[in-house]
């Protein structure tokens, strides 16, 4: 086998991998807000379908990928602490985003822990005044009432990302902001991180 042939072979493989990577990046950029939500919901159902066989850690791994690729985690963390974000150091901001992200993964792994034929269905979408999009969907539960899930979307670069989820009219972001800003203002940053870590451990033990 000649050196030239080997060079050409690996040069071809490199170009093939590069072209696939570029295609995947472009595909992600071309996804609509609806596409992002639909993909996230399909992955969530996939994690639910694993149920107890996957265990908490297995579901956690699946939802982590799903959330990271669909949510704007830094923006969400920034919103939940409000104006106090500007008072945090760079290291504190990073820690806050890390712990807050872990809390989101843990909550999905705990509460979406089994599958009984549930499905998500797309209803409609609307543009907001600030250039965002709200994707309206239904979480259909056999022998129970449907739950409305509305996803508030914003652009992160060229990609749409979820920044808030409203379930039956209740904003998840508003609930978190009310709790976390109160803890941060009364007890300080370390107490807020401690609260998040306690919840993460609690979710993992109960599942």
Cα–Cα distance between 153 and 100 in angstroms, integer?
19
Confidence of residue 1 (pLDDT cuts 50, 70, 90): very low
Confidence of residue 29 (pLDDT cuts 50, 70, 90): low
Confidence of residue 90 (pLDDT cuts 50, 70, 90): very high
Cα–Cα distance between 41 and 34 in angstroms, integer?
11
User: Sheet containing 170-171: which strands, arranged edge to edge?
Assistant: 119-127, 133-140, 147-156, 159-167, 170-171
Burial class of residue 169, CB neighbours in 10 A (0-12, 13-18, 19+):
exposed
**pLDDT (tens digit, 9 = 90+) per residue, 124-156?**
999 999 899 999 999 999 999 999 999 999 999
Confidence of residue 20 (pLDDT cuts 50, 70, 90): very low
Domains in the chain: ranges and CATH: 31-206 (3.10.450.710)
Confidence check: pLDDT of 207 > 50? yes
Mean pLDDT on 103-132: 96
């Amino acid at each position: 086998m000649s050196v030239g042939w080997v060079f050409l072979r690996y040069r071809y493989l490199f170009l093939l991998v590069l072209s696939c990577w570029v295609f995947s990046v472009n595909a992600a950029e071309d996804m609509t807000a609806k596409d992002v939500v639909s993909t996230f919901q399909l992955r969530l159902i996939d994690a639910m379908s694993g149920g107890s066989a996957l265990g908490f850690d297995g579901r956690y791994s699946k939802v982590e990928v799903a959330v990271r690729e669909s949510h704007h985690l830094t923006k969400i963390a920034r919103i939940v602490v409000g104006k106090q974000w500007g008072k945090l150091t760079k290291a504190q901001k990073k820690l806050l985003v890390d712990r807050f992200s872990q809390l989101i993964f843990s909550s999905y792994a705990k509460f979406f822990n089994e599958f009984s034929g549930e499905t998500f269905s797309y209803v409609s979408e609307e543009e907001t005044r600030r250039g965002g999009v709200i994707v309206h969907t239904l979480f259909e539960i056999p022998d129970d009432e449907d739950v409305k899930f509305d996803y508030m979307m914003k652009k992160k670069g060229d990609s749409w990302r979820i920044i808030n989820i409203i379930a039956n009219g209740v904003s998840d972001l508003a609930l978190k902001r009310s709790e976390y800003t109160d803890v941060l203002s009364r007890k300080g940053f370390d107490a807020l991180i401690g609260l998040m870590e306690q919840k993460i451990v609690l979710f993992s033990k109960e599942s």
